[in-house]
Amino acid sequence: MKRTYIPDNYSIQFNDLIEDIQNIILKESDNSYCTIVCKQWQKIILKNSHVCKTCNKITKIYDNVLWVTDNDDPFCCGYFGKSLENYKAIKGILNRDYYFIRKIYQSIGVCYAAVKSNGDALQYIKKQPDIVCLEAVKNNPNALVHVKNQTEEICLAALKKNGGVLRYVKINQTDEMCVEAVKNSDYALEYVNNQTYEICFASVKNDGNTFKCVKKQYQTEEIILEALKTNPNVLANVEIVSQDFALKVLKISLHALRYIDEQNEEMCLEAVTQNGLCLEWVKNKTDKIVQAALNQNTGAFKFVKNPTEELCIEIIKKDCYSVIPETIKNPTENMLLEAVKVNPYVMNYAENLSDETYLKLVKQNGQTLSYIKNQTREMCLEAIKQAPSNFKYINKQHRTEEMYIELYKIGGDAHFDYPFMFADN
């Protein structure tokens, strides 16, 4: 950088000071770190001048503008008059179309503006200052592929945005780069040249699915447990060698029970008491385990093989609406008698029942009459005794004069105000 010195014996009138600064000092230097050695001048200049805080350039003395900078530039390129107007016009074009960089003079300010608009513009920039490359990868991490002279700082800036660009790193991969990459990408681990325990742990902590890329030597219990937090299926290709490890696994993910071959009652109870649906993966379904699962979630009943009638009735009492339609096929009379108390719809699953059984079911819930095709007089009478509104479920053939009289005896004239009761089925 060129420095201009003015000797102490250099005689000049103060009125010529500004003119000399413009014509001598600025002309012979780049206005950076200009040294004024005349002490009397130095005090006057520092007191009455404006200096850019970014680049330390003298931009104004009194009201005379010496040097104009663009406030958007972090490095203050320095544009004067018309040049500043042109520069701002160019920036406006680059914001809309970064390809324009190929057709103009590539000053550092123009290049910076281009990559700030779109990092891909870096591929058209011939000379790539670090500050331009850094801004490019911050805008678009994939622009790292276009960086000619990569540095660790530039690579880290890109990896913090997208760890997957590790595949574009041309310089030696540092542990810091790799850790940053696997933290921000679910597939960066496959591009790590030299895996370490720290890198593998950071990767599975971010995404358990990356465990498949972890080398065998680093597949420790700690890394397996960490991967399990986000990927329950990580145990599909892992051998669980101890009961202690199996219990640790279940504390993190109950679904891991499916991958445990050597199950014991303790771990199974631990699983089903927290989620009854884990009964699906229990190999030895003891009565104690089944009962614990059903207490937690009656939906686990579908995983019970060959349930007893007693167990079916017990579960129907708890959850009739979902159990019979989904799990109990060919329900017995006792099951149906319990079920129709709250859900007459289960009659759709009853086939070839005797008239005696149908009558019992109607006595439990008169609405079951609507599901019986071959109705009897006794069934119809029982239904309207429970609720006169059940008359609407009686078949046409049983709507006799006798039945209307019985309805009148039960409910009085009020029920004849509802014509729908007497509509033909």
Same domain, residue pair 365 and 391: yes
Last residue of a domain, one of 105, 127, 149: 149
Cα–Cα nearest to 421, from 350, 342, 345, 410: 410
Q: Across the strands, what pairs with 65?
A: 60
Supply the pLDDT for residue 328. 61
The enclosing H or E element of 49 equals strand 49-51
What are the residue ranges in the chain where pLDDT is below 50?
A: 1-14, 28-29, 31-37, 80, 413-420, 425
Same domain, residue pair 383 and 423: yes
Same domain, residue pair 57 and 105: no
- For 395, the domain range is 353-425
Across 140-259, where does the E strand assignment appear? none
Residue 364 lies in a domain: yes
Residue 84 lies in a domain: yes
Supply the pLDDT for residue 203. 93
Cβ–Cβ < 8 Å for 56, 33: yes
Same domain, residue pair 45 and 74: no
Domain total in the chain: 3
Same domain, residue pair 144 and 74: yes
Cα–Cα nearest to 360, from 394, 398, 333: 333
Residue 388 lies in a domain: yes
Supply the pLDDT for residue 174. 93
Residue 412 lies in a domain: yes
Same domain, residue pair 26 and 98: no
pTM above 0.85, yes or no: no
* Whole-number Å distance between alpha carbons of 300 and 272: 9
Same domain, residue pair 57 and 102: no
Same domain, residue pair 358 and 409: yes
Same domain, residue pair 91 and 112: yes
Residue 394 lies in a domain: yes
Same domain, residue pair 80 and 37: no
Q: How far is CA 357 from CA 14, 72, 92, 185, 338, in A?
A: 122, 89, 87, 65, 13
Same domain, residue pair 136 and 75: yes
Q: How many CB atoms lie within 10 A of CB 423?
A: 10
Residue 93 lies in a domain: yes
| Residue 28: both structure tokens together | 């012979």
Cα–Cα nearest to 109, from 139, 84, 138: 84
Same domain, residue pair 51 and 85: no
Last residue of a domain, one of 48, 65, 82: 65
Supply the pLDDT for residue 355. 86
Please calculate the CA angle 284-285-288 and round it to the nearest 5 degrees.
125
Residue 297 lies in a domain: no
| Residue 118: both structure tokens together | 């779109």
Q: What is the DSSP string of 298-319?
A: GGGGGG-SS--HHHHHHHHHHH
Residue burial 70-80, b: 16+ Cβ < 10 Å; e: rest: beebeebbbbe
The enclosing H or E element of 87 equals helix 82-96
Last residue of a domain, one of 65, 83, 107: 65
| Residue 106: both structure tokens together | 């590539």
* Whole-number Å distance between alpha carbons of 215 and 235: 15
Cβ–Cβ < 8 Å for 212, 199: no
Supply the pLDDT for residue 368. 86
Sheet of 58-61, strands arranged across: 49-51, 58-61, 64-65
Residue 375 lies in a domain: yes
